[in-house]
Amino acid sequence: MGVSKRGSRTYDRRHNAVKQVASAVWRWAGAVSVRTKILGMILVLVLLPGIIVTLQVRKGLNSAFTEQLREQSVSIARDVAARSTDLILINDQYGVAKLLRETQENNPDVRYAFIVDAKGHVLVHTFGDGFPGELLPANSVASSAHHHTVLLHTDEGPMWDTAVPIFNGKIGIARIGLSESRMQASINTMTTQLLLTTGIVAIFGIVAGFFLTWILTRPLLDLVHVTEAMRKGDFDQAVNPWADDEIGELAKAFNTMAVDLAHAEAERAKREKMRAYYLRRIILAQEEERKRIARELHDETGQSLASLMVGLRNVEAAPTREQMLARLADMRAVASKTLEAVHDLALELRPSVLDDLGLVAALERYIGAYQKRFQVGIDFQSVGLEDDRLPPLVEIAVYRIVQEALTNAAKYARSDQISVLLEKHGRQLSVIVEDDGVGFNADATMHHALSNRKLGLYGMRERTAQLGGTLLIESEIDKGTSIYVRIPLVRSDDEDNPDHVGR
């Protein structure tokens, strides 16, 4: 078990080392310029095939020449053996020596030739300064064999030594040695020529590659320059598409993208300006809401509490029990009215049922109280929201929009009948509020609300815009008013993401 763990750790170390080396090579390759990469590819595509072809040709030539040299060695040795038979039988050593010299002169690859008699003594040889004794045992042939060839390694290089029996070995053996030096010189010459050709082709390839890389990288460098300018905020830059190839198409697409980015930047600046404006409006709305709450507390709750203080003094000063009970009843009525006013104010600020039961239940309760207060008939319908809660931001916004719409209807429209519809369809919520009131000029009223910072209708539009929705108000004089709100819904896990609005 321990051996297995050690083997696994060794494998992991090797694997991590290989990954590190590969990562380093990749980083190095990525840091090299495009021009260098293209030139490198051209060099590899030229030099690598050239070198491979040269090596293959050299190998093929060496194999073919070697086989040819070996066969030539056998042919010359058999010729010498056949022609020297009669000369040896008549003991004509001069004729045998002349035969060996002629053989050597007629065949430039023959380095030596000699004949050994049946007893193993050298009869004739071509070595002028003495026969090398170590050559004799280097090769031998049986009397029944056709020939025997070995490759000897000498000071002059490889030597093909062939031994052929003369007259079935009865009168001796003929030995011929052929050198590979001339063959190797021819192969080296051809190899040099192939390498020189490869080098010339590589030079032409480098020149052509340099020109091609200049053509390819020039527009890319222009793209880099323009991109850097755009990164700094200059969207007026453009790339000159000087070719109609793929890079030219890229330049045209880049110019189109630059125009789109310029428009997007202008739109972003506009949205940023609108966001700042909305923020100021929200702060103003908060201040206005605080003023209204303070006014409500002062005008209603404060006066009621002051009435209670006066009532308490009157209770203390009551001369009889009956008058004291009557004054206590009046105080109880004032306290009940004050409590109801505070409760209504609290519900108007933040109804708890909105958090506990959701939007539909909160609107049902608010609409019920609204009908009792203003004596107006309201038809409220909800579709697709029976068992589904909306994101808190959406519920709050829709509640305030409907609240504001009903408040405006109560203050200005003098309506007899109002309908409220909430419909959830897919990932969109639609809100429709319609009344049969006196109506108004929607465009003029919205312009007046913006100019005079009135928070009613424009506040509804702001709340809708903050959720990425749309608000449409249709109204005609004496024909009522219709308010249409459409809000895109997001996943619950996105509602805290500031980028989700409008998605």
pTM above 0.85, yes or no: no
CA dihedral 315, 316, 319, 325 (to 10 degrees): 30
Please determine, for residue 297, whether its predicted confidence score (pLDDT) is greater than 70.
no
Taking the C-alpha atoms of residue 38 and residue 40, their distance in angstroms, rounded to an integer, is: 5
Please determine, for residue 449, whether its predicted confidence score (pLDDT) is greater than 90.
no
pLDDT tens, residue by residue, 120-176: 899 999 998 888 888 999 999 998 899 999 999 888 889 999 999 998 888 999 999
Question: What is the DSSP code string of 199-243?
Answer: HHHHHHHHHHHHHHHHHHHHHHHHHHHHHHHHHTT-TT-------
For 471, other C-beta atoms within 10 Å of its C-beta total 20
CA dihedral 342, 345, 346, 350 (to 10 degrees): 180
Question: What is the DSSP code string of 463-489?
Answer: HHHHTT-EEEEEEETTTEEEEEEEEE-
Taking the C-alpha atoms of residue 354 and residue 394, their distance in angstroms, rounded to an integer, is: 11
Sequence-separated contacts (24+) of 295-298 with Cβ below 8 Å: 296/341, 296/345, 297/345
Q: What's the alpha-carbon Rg for the chain, to the nearest Å? A: 55
Closest CA to 175 of 133, 132, 135: 135
pLDDT tens, residue by residue, 174-228: 999 999 998 989 999 999 999 999 889 888 888 887 887 777 777 777 777 788 8
pLDDT tens, residue by residue, 33-81: 777 777 777 778 878 888 898 999 999 999 999 999 999 999 999 999 9
Comparing 407-421, 422-436, 479-493, the range with the smallest average pLDDT is: 479-493
Mean pLDDT across the stretch 240-266? 78
How would you class 65 by CB atoms within 10 Å of its CB: exposed for 0-12, middle for 13-18, buried for 19 or more?
Answer: middle
Please determine, for residue 275, whether its predicted confidence score (pLDDT) is greater than 50.
yes
Confidence of residue 493 (pLDDT cuts 50, 70, 90): very low
Q: Which pLDDT score, from 0 to 100, does residue 271 have?
A: 84
Round the average pLDDT of the chain to a whole number and report it: 81
Please determine, for residue 425, whether its predicted confidence score (pLDDT) is greater than 70.
yes
Taking the C-alpha atoms of residue 17 and residue 50, their distance in angstroms, rounded to an integer, is: 33
Please determine, for residue 27, whether its predicted confidence score (pLDDT) is greater than 90.
no
Taking the C-alpha atoms of residue 365 and residue 347, their distance in angstroms, rounded to an integer, is: 10
Which residue shows structure tokens 């306290």?
Answer: 335
More confident residue, 42 or 281: 42
Q: Which pLDDT score, from 0 to 100, does residue 368 have?
A: 87
Structure tokens, 442: 């929607």
pLDDT tens, residue by residue, 358-383: 888 888 888 888 888 888 889 999 99
pLDDT tens, residue by residue, 86-105: 999 898 989 999 999 999 99
Please determine, for residue 245, whether its predicted confidence score (pLDDT) is greater than 70.
yes
Q: Which pLDDT score, from 0 to 100, does residue 130 have?
A: 86
Taking the C-alpha atoms of residue 401 and residue 464, their distance in angstroms, rounded to an integer, is: 8
For 239, other C-beta atoms within 10 Å of its C-beta total 21
